């Protein structure tokens, strides 16, 4: 893909953009005129300083630091909690096997959600 690097694993993947985000980005593109990018570009992002910039930003606004892997895991958990099948989340997130994927989503409790709905302490159930 021209202008894009492959992932750390050496392969590329596709990620679907939500309809509201697509509308927003198209609006920004229209407003940006002839600019190549619709969002601000920082040289620091191009030189591998993403995590330190994120850490600084979160500190400045009074939030706890978070790692990029935590954001990825949160993204995956949110999708699965909304009913997106694990295989689709795995494909978009770049996890190649279920064992690795489980490392990221194991604490979310998604696999057990709703399991106790069949239990009741009422006599009529």
- Which of 64, 73, 62, 67 minimizes the C-alpha distance to 50? 67
What value does the mean pLDDT take over residues 44-71?
Answer: 86
The pLDDT confidence band at residue 45, using thresholds 50, 70 and 90, is confident
Listed ranges 33-42, 87-96, 103-112; the one with the highest mean pLDDT = 87-96
Phi, psi for 100 (deg, rounded to 5): -65, -40
CA–CA dist 42, 61 (Å, integer):
19
> Over 50: is that where the pLDDT of 57 sits?
yes
Task: Look up the pTM and report it.
Answer: 0.64
Return the minimum-mean-pLDDT range out of 7-11, 80-84, 89-93. Answer: 7-11
- Which of 46, 102, 104, 47 minimizes the C-alpha distance to 73? 104
What value does the mean pLDDT take over residues 24-30?
Answer: 92
Share of the chain above pLDDT 70, in %: 83
CA–CA dist 103, 94 (Å, integer):
13
């Amino acid at each position: 893909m021209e202008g894009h690097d492959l992932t750390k694993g050496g392969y590329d993947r596709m990620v679907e953009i939500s309809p509201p985000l697509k509308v927003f980005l198209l609006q920004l593109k229209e407003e940006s005129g002839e600019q190549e990018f619709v969002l601000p570009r920082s040289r620091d992002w191009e030189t591998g300083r993403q995590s330190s910039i994120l850490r600084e930003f979160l500190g400045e606004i009074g939030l706890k630091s978070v790692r990029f892997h935590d954001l990825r895991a949160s993204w995956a958990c949110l999708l699965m909690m909304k009913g997106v099948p694990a295989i689709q989340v795995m494909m978009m997130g770049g996890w190649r096997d279920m064992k690795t994927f489980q490392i990221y989503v194991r604490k979310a409790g998604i696999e057990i959600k709703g399991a106790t709905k069949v239990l009741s302490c009422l006599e009529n159930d």
